Chain A
Amino acid sequence: MSTAAAGARTDWDIPEYAGEHHQELSFLRRYVFSTDHKVIAVQFLVMSLVFLALGGFLALMMRWQLGFPGQPMPGGSVLPESMAPGGIILPEFYNSLVTMHGTFMIFFAIMPLLVGVFGNLLIPLQIGAPDMAFPKLNMASFWLAVPAGFIMLTSFWVEGGAAGAGWTSYAPLSASGDYTGVYLGQQLWLLSLFILGFSSIAGAVNYITTVVNMRAPGLTWFRLPLTVWALFITAILVLLAMPILAGALIMLLSDQTLGTTFFLPELGGEPLLWQHLFWFFGHPEVYILILPAFGIVSEVLANGARKPVFGYHAMVLAIAAIAFLGWIVWGHHMFMSGMNPVLGTTFMVTTLVIAVPSAIKVFNWLGTLWKGNIHFHVPFLHAAAFVSLFIIGGLSGIFMAAAPVDIHIHDTYFIVAHLHYVLFGGSLFAIFAGITFWFPKMFGRMMNTLWNRVHFVGTFLCYNLVFFPMHGLGIEGMMRRLYDPTQYGWLAELQPWNVFITYAVFGLVTFQVVFFVNFFLSIWTGRKAEANPWRANSLEWSVPSPPPHGNFMAMPTVYRGPYEYSTPDGEEDFILQSASPRESERPPSDGTRSRAALNEEEST
């Protein structure tokens, strides 16, 4: 090991701790082409918040069309003829809106927010490392994501408009522009995601190497914060899932451009092959979008309740189990695709089973609150909301997992409700929790609590008004990706609900604007933050806010787990992982073992 370490030291310049270097960086190196994981995290944050706003903005237009089909959209006349002549959205533009909304939200908002932002910010800080294992690769990862998003965005203005085959881009609709009139747009969609794939894989390689190799002394696997565990396992999913997507994208692109027929049936291609490849990537992907959220929520709930996470080991195992089972359930997206019914049964069973680890997590979260001393800070509010909303989204998943019931609700708004409950109610609420929790560590200032509370309450209410009725619409049989529901006789009478939802969305978006404004104002005008504003335990709180380049003056040493809240001894109800052992933690002279020793055993 020592020789290997020597190899590492001499052969590749590995990052240094704050105390070990004193070079001054130019503005460009420090803020634009920075290799500091904290700066890269902030870059990802700004980028993905912009795309989140964009995705919301697209949703706004969609909702206008769904609420008031065929009526000119206020201010819509600024849009070119090809999209909305006289402000009236065209069917082809609506299809692009749905597709781009889903694509931006999943690939350019939620994924970079969870993996890009929190992965970069938390992994090195929480494991006591000076930076990522490969800082330059890390920078590359961000500077690949930006052009990818830019390409995706520009596709709106190319000949034929942006991709319009849904974020799942089912072939053959997506495989030949002859069916949609979208040629270049679909190809740019493919290219953009292909580039993003490189970005994600670069990130994943970094995260995995960093967690395995650069943990501080004493930071054993089972002393890692659950955020690190979640991000580590997520990185593995990204590493293995993205290449599958890449392969599928290449084949679809060559069908589009080189005249191959992988997915085009006329000359023997297999349309279902696309679906299998996409969902073999796609289901792990949706867990990529929730596991980091699990980690963040566990962290914040424990902090708010001032109590250790209930069943830490079970939480880790549950994450691992979900990540593993996630690979063998993809068929539940294809129950109606004409795939062999026997396969359908198999996927139904695996899908139902995957609910079990999620159950463990939900109940352990409740257990964490039990007998706590709950401090309702804003991050905690979002985390608690996450639990309540994820339960709803998860439970609606059970309806669809039962294949016979899915016959009726597949491709209806019931699905739309499900995916927004898990992705918005789940992932995005966790992201709000994470941003408000680590904002001081990122920017050295606190966010305005009052406006944060306003944002939370407004979002929670409007959110449910928007998405809960969608379950009902689905039960009534309202299909997804409908440009104008009123065209169907039996849907026309549901229109009042669509109008209601659209009004609720106006509210929802308004409260998001509140958050956006509060966020950017607080960066400059917020109250200065001390090192450990939430009185938390993990290593990032042991250094100034924001931490210096190199994070720690010297390599910290870890003496205990991350959730030692309200320990029986000690005045404070928290103790930093790196705080030197208390009297009670030292092995007592009489044979009895100290708690520290006990933790040590349960963790190895």
Chain B
Amino acid sequence: MNWLLDPSVSTFGPDIDRLYYIILFITGVVFVLTEGLLVYFLVRYRRRPGQRAEYIHGSTRAEVIWTAVPFLILVALGLMSKPVWDRVKEPSVFPQDAYELRLVARQFEWEAHYPGANGDPDAPDAFSVLNRFHVPANEPVVIHLEAEDVIHSFFVPRFRLKQDAIPGRSIPIWFEITEPGEYDLGCAELCGLGHYSMDGMVIVQSRSEFDAWNAERRTAAREAAGAVVAGRSGSDAGEGEAVSIEGGS
């Protein structure tokens, strides 16, 4: 464990990491400089017999310098941060043709809702899965984040992405993952007794694999929907699916 981040797998990840290392460098320099001076002064000016402290009230010039320099550095930091921030969080500049799904957080699980083949979320072949959900790699994905009870927070460290899910709201987030694989999902906002066990998994697959999985789930959903008496909602079916999924993948 150290000050280095483990590699990010999202397209904006590197931007965030770069910013992190820049700040690490700046603060590192400041740290060495200030702590170094502190220790040096403590040793150099320790009390000695016959020595008298110099009667100095200050130096306007020095003070102006060490006010201006940090100010400039920090403003520069702000300027560097803004574009990155907007790229990750500003909905108006989200990629257009993204694959969209709904992710609902509740005490203490994540439920991903996938639309039917026709893109209709209420279609009979629409389905939902619990905690382990799949997304396509190498293309933008937009997740509409919702919460049913209290505030939760969607956190996938390797994506460099975190966003609170607020009950009564749907908050869009986006990412594009460059490396297929399984990535840990955690809940970062205290949400009650089970906060510590609200883990999940994002399975990033190549488009083809994802489509295959998607089709499989749709047919399963359609059968389930058909099998049961009319009037049963799709999401229930989804939950039925979800259970089978836990064993499945």
What residues make up the interface of A, taking CB atoms closer than 8 Å to B? 91-92, 95, 165-166, 170, 172-173, 179-181, 265-266, 269, 271-272, 305-308, 310-314, 336-338, 341-342, 344-345, 348-349, 352-353, 355-356, 359-360, 362-364, 366-367, 369-376, 384, 387-388, 391-392, 395-396, 398-399, 402-405, 407-408, 410-412, 469, 471-473, 475-477, 479-485, 487-490, 494, 497, 565-568, 573
Contact = CB atoms under 8 A, between A and B. Distances in A.
A363 B1 CA distance: 32
B85 interface: yes
Interface of B: 1-6, 15-16, 19-20, 23-24, 26-27, 30-31, 34-35, 37-38, 41-42, 45-48, 51-59, 62-63, 66-67, 70-71, 74-75, 77-78, 81-82, 84-86, 88-91, 107, 149-151, 153, 155, 157, 160-164, 166-169, 171, 184, 186-197, 199
13 contacts: A172-B151, A179-B107, A269-B168, A314-B67, A373-B45, A373-B47, A373-B53, A384-B38, A392-B31, A398-B27, A408-B16, A411-B153, A472-B1
B7 to A, nearest CB: 13
A304 B186 CA distance: 49
A405 B5 CA distance: 11
A466 to B, nearest CB: 15
Nearest to A168: B190
Contact of A371 (B23, B54, B107): B54
A362 B41 CA distance: 14
Given A170-B151, A355-B74, A484-B196, A479 B188 contact: yes
Contacts, number: 278
Given A91-B194, A374-B46, A408-B20, A395 B30 contact: yes
B196 A91 contact: yes
Identify the interface centre among B41, B46, B90: most chain A CB within 10 Å of its CB. Answer: B41
B53 A573 contact: yes
B243 to A, nearest CB: 21
Contact of B58 (A269, A337, A364): A364
A208 to B, nearest CB: 28
A92 B63 CA distance: 51
B166 A337 contact: yes
Nearest to B26: A398
A473 B42 CA distance: 32
A26 B59 CA distance: 53
Contacts of B51: 373
Contacts of B24: 399
B189 A170 contact: yes
Contacts of B20: 399, 405, 408
A366 B56 contact: no
A519 to B, nearest CB: 26
Contact of A475 (B3, B27, B66, B194): B3
A367 B57 CA distance: 10
A92 B191 CA distance: 11
Contacts of B169: 265, 338
A566 B89 contact: no
Nearest to B72: A356
Given A352-B77, A356-B67, A405-B16, A412 B184 contact: no
A195 to B, nearest CB: 25
A183 to B, nearest CB: 14
B89 A305 contact: no
B58 A312 contact: yes
Nearest to A269: B168
B187 A479 contact: yes
Contact of B47 (A180, A376, A481, A567): A376
Given A391-B35, A392-B31, 13 more contacts: A165-B190, A180-B193, A181-B193, A305-B45, A306-B52, A310-B58, A311-B63, A345-B82, A367-B59, A395-B30, A395-B31, A408-B20, A469-B1
B41 A364 contact: no
Identify the interface centre among B6, B23, B51, B107: most chain A CB within 10 Å of its CB. Answer: B23
A172 to B, nearest CB: 5
Contact of A95 (B15, B82, B164, B190): B190
Contacts of A477: 155, 157, 186
